[in-house]
Structure 1
Amino acid sequence: MTYTTTDGSNGDGTGGRTGGAGDGRRWHVPGDDLRAYARGELAAPRLWSADTHLAACAHCRGVLADVGDPVALDAGWARLDAELDVPRPGLLESLLLRCGVADHTARLLAATPTLRRSWLGAVAAVLVLTLAVTAGYAAGGPPTFFLALAPLLPLAGVALSYGPALDPTYEVAVVAPMHGFRLLMTRTVAVLAAGLGLNGLATLALPGYGLRALGWLLPALALTATGLALTARLGPVLAPSLVGGGWIALLMTAEASRADADDPLAPFTAVGQGVSALVAVLAAGLLVLLRDRFDAGRAHAA
């Protein structure tokens, strides 16, 4: 950017309008730039440089007042303030915006705690350790440890994505321009996509077990749907805690009752998978019936 020095020449030596002597500054914004600034036509980066200089130079502000239209100047300042105040979207938010997601929805999804690298990294580490333990079993045995743990990860992720006690951006979510149930479902789908995706990648690391390694999928959907349905009545902490505790108790009971250590646990048999699918459907229906309760909770929090 070319500025006018107090000795009457431009900063590049081409000459130009002199700045006011005695103001202690060696250069000023050229008159052409000031007139363009006043008309709202000065583009970045000249706009940013001129704005920074005007904030500290009384002489240039006086010249600007002489050449500019007050209404246009006010509009220019307002436009500049708006540009400076707009948050810069991160990588995930930018990707969502490119995919056509509304800006406020993308902002809420990007702020979801369980979509952060720390949470995803922790889940990946847990799955790697689980796979290591599972691989240490006899080759012909069922992947019981992996199947028992995998359904709990999506449940925990959804629980951490919604609620004043767990979500650091809950106040933003409360005033978001969307139905409370829609917000819950938006974040749930995003978290499930991430959680189930990581579980799916882990399943690919167990090719020797075939379809048995996918036995976690229906229980995961059943636990998540049940936890969400109970959240409407019990809250985002107690509900998933009870569901997770119930799942562990069920596995312990199934372990104690099976006759052969090589037999699959009851939840991972054909009958158990059918029960999981039924529970998932019933819990989803109950969740829809109780959807208005999530708005009541947001109104109370606000």
Structure 2
Amino acid sequence: MRDEKHEGTGWHADTDDLRAYAHGELQAPRLWSVDTHLVACATCRDALAEVGDPLAMHIGWERLDAELDAPRPGAVEGLLMRIGVADHTARLLAATPVLRTSWLGAVLLVLAMTVASVYTSDSPALFLALAPLLPLAGVALSYGPALDPTHELAVVAPLHGFRLLMTRTVAVLVASLGLNGLATLAIPGYGLRALAWLLPALALTATGLALTARLGPVLAPALVSGGWVALLVVAKATANGMLAPFTGLGQGAAAAIAVIAAVVLHRVRDRFDASPAHAPFTDFAHRSTS
């Protein structure tokens, strides 16, 4: 770099650097310095025009424009990449609707209200009934043309539909189960009974995903949620103590259902890939617009 001072930048690029830049031969980190300097220095831009051919200069400015216009990762995306998540996966996760502040805030509010009800009613029944539905709702809101604003981009992304499904499902489960776990810590007086929501949550989510392959991303979780509510109503009407889904037998049944649903989901995974891959989603979109 030349020592000559400049009012706007304090220095000028060396002629040799400009010539190398014009021919695409300047290496980093000097390349970055010249790139940044040329944006603010008209004198060096004129000098560049004199030492380089117009085509090479045009290509260089196109490269600079591309760098300036490249999207910068947001806070969530940047955090994911810092902990080792691949950049394309981090972008897909950051675009997941239910990982945004509005959804997480709403979940926290609902959990706070249900935890408060435990202290007023002296029973964890409402919390145990609601907590398994939150992961199912979160997963359902992550997919499909009617619910996911990035659905079209996900469909054309070079990523298997089943892998996208599992990637977002794991992210939603981590967030939802983590928030449920924090809420559980707020009701320590019930011991292990306060964790009785976990197996039903996994069973409902796995069942909803397995049915999505045939019923679509709206109808499947709706039916599973309705079935859960109906089961709780029947259990409450016949219960003498703890509701049946939260007893030892009910927990065993929930674990068995979760395993069976996971096996079924694995067997139908091809329905989520390529054209057949997005069949549950594209079929639903076709029905909703016809």
Q: Classify the TM-score, shorter chain.
A: 0.7 to 0.9
Which residue pairs with 2:120 in the alignment?
Answer: 136
Between the aligned partners of 2:205 and 2:37, the Cα distance in structure 1 is: 53
Which residue pairs with 2:7 in the alignment?
Answer: 11
RMSD: 2.8
Give runs of aligned pairs for residues 155-170 of structure 1, distance below 5 A. Answer: 155-170=136-151
Which ranges in structure 2 are unaligned for 5 or more consecutive residues?
286-290
Give runs of aligned pairs for residues 204-223 of structure 1, distance below 5 A. Answer: 204-223=185-204
Which ranges in structure 1 are unaligned for 5 or more consecutive residues?
17-28
1:230 partner SS? helix
1:163 partner SS? coil
Query: TM-score, structure 1 length as denominator?
Result: 0.82
Which residue pairs with 2:101 in the alignment?
Answer: 117
What percentage of residue pairs aligned between the two structures are identical? 66
**Given the alignment, which residue of 155, 168, 191 partners 2:172?**
191
**Given the alignment, which residue of 59, 66, 70 partners 2:50?**
66
Between the aligned partners of 1:240 and 1:66, the Cα distance in structure 2 is: 66
The Cα of 1:78 is off from its aligned counterpart by: 3.5
Give runs of aligned pairs for residues 225-264 of structure 1, distance below 5 A. Answer: 225-258=206-239, 260=240, 263-264=241-242
Q: Does 1:265 align with 2:246?
A: no
The Cα of 1:43 is off from its aligned counterpart by: 4.5
Between the aligned partners of 1:151 and 1:118, the Cα distance in structure 2 is: 20
Q: Is the 8 A contact 1:3 1:30 kept in 2?
A: no
Between the aligned partners of 2:41 and 2:20, the Cα distance in structure 1 is: 15
The Cα of 1:51 is off from its aligned counterpart by: 3.2
Which residue pairs with 1:98 in the alignment?
Answer: 82
Between the aligned partners of 2:36 and 2:149, the Cα distance in structure 1 is: 34
Between the aligned partners of 1:62 and 1:46, the Cα distance in structure 2 is: 13
The Cα of 1:297 is off from its aligned counterpart by: 4.9
2:278 partner SS? helix
Q: Does 1:51 align with 2:44?
A: no
Alpha carbons of 1:276 and 1:65: their partners in 2 closer, same or farther (altered >3 Å)?
same
Which residue pairs with 1:182 in the alignment?
Answer: 163
The Cα of 1:30 is off from its aligned counterpart by: 6.5
Q: Is the 8 A contact 1:231 1:240 kept in 2?
A: yes
Q: Does 1:81 align with 2:65?
A: yes
Which residue pairs with 2:260 in the alignment?
Answer: 282
Listed one character per residue, the Cα deviations across residues 45-96 of structure 1 (whole Å, up to 9, x for unaligned) are 6523523666xxxx97665333114454244223213312321011111111
Aligned residues: 274
The Cα of 1:99 is off from its aligned counterpart by: 1.9
Which residue pairs with 2:111 in the alignment?
Answer: 127
1:255 partner SS? helix
Alpha carbons of 1:117 and 1:228: their partners in 2 closer, same or farther (altered >3 Å)?
same
Which residue pairs with 2:184 in the alignment?
Answer: 203
Query: TM-score, structure 2 length as denominator?
Result: 0.85
Between the aligned partners of 2:270 and 2:139, the Cα distance in structure 1 is: 19
2:146 partner SS? coil
Alpha carbons of 1:82 and 1:200: their partners in 2 closer, same or farther (altered >3 Å)?
same
Between the aligned partners of 1:10 and 1:281, the Cα distance in structure 2 is: 70
Between the aligned partners of 2:266 and 2:39, the Cα distance in structure 1 is: 53
Q: Is the 8 A contact 2:203 2:255 kept in 1?
A: yes
Between the aligned partners of 1:97 and 1:71, the Cα distance in structure 2 is: 36
Q: Is the 8 A contact 1:130 1:146 kept in 2?
A: yes
Q: Is the 8 A contact 2:270 2:277 kept in 1?
A: no
Between the aligned partners of 1:253 and 1:209, the Cα distance in structure 2 is: 23
